[in-house]
Structure 1
Amino acid sequence: MSKDTERIERDIEAARNQLASTLDELSVRANPKHIAAGAKQKAIAKVNEPKIKYSLIGAGALVVVLVVVKIFR
C-alpha cells in the first residue's frame, strides 16, 4: 500500500509540474507584446512579397502624380 501511495504522489507531482509548464507556455503565448510582435512580423513579411510591394509602390506613385497634377492645375 505504501508503494501505491508513493506512486500516486509521484503522479500528482508530475501532473503538477506539467500543469505549471503549460501555464507558463500559455502566459508567454497570451502576452500582448508577443502577439503584437508576431503580427508585426507577419505584416512585414506580407508587405515584402514582390506582388504586394510593387503594387504599393505603384499606388503611391499614382497618388503623388495625382497630387502634383491637382496642385499645378
Structure 2
Amino acid sequence: MARDPETIEREIEQARNALAATLDQLGTKADPRKLADQASQGIKAKLNEPKIKFPLIGAGALIGFLLLRKLFR
C-alpha cells in the first residue's frame, strides 16, 4: 500500500528533529570543559578524604626533609 507523500515528509521531519535533539544532548554530555571540570572535582574530592590527604602530606613532608638534608650536607 502506497503512503501519502505528505505523511512521509512529516515522518522525515520528525526523524530529523529527533536526531538533532539527540546530537545536541550528546554534544552537551561530551563537552570537554564539562568533562574536565567533573574530573577535577572528582580528584579534589578524592584528595580531601583523610585516608588520602594525610599520607600525601606525610610523604610530601618526608620528601621535603630529605631534599633539605641533602642540600645542607
Same fold (TM over 0.5): yes
Structure 2: any 5+ residue segments left out of the alignment?
none
Moved more, 7-16 or 58-67: 7-16
> Alpha-carbon deviation of 1:41?
1.1
> Percent sequence identity over matched residues?
56
SS at match of 1:19: helix
Counterpart residue number, 2:42: 42
Q: State how far apart, in whole Å, the 2-side matches of 1:48 and 1:21 are.
A: 38
Q: Does 1:63 align with 2:63?
A: yes
> Alpha-carbon deviation of 1:67?
1.2
TM-score, normalised to structure 1's length? 0.72
Q: State how far apart, in whole Å, the 2-side matches of 1:69 and 1:56 are.
A: 20
Cα offsets for 1:3-26 (capped at 9, x unmatched): x85876665554443322211110
Counterpart residue number, 1:31: 31
Q: State how far apart, in whole Å, the 2-side matches of 1:14 and 1:30 are.
A: 24
Query: How many pairs align?
Result: 70
Q: Which structure features the higher share of helix residues?
A: 1
> Alpha-carbon deviation of 1:29?
1.2
Counterpart residue number, 1:53: 53
CA RMSD, 1 decimal: 2.0
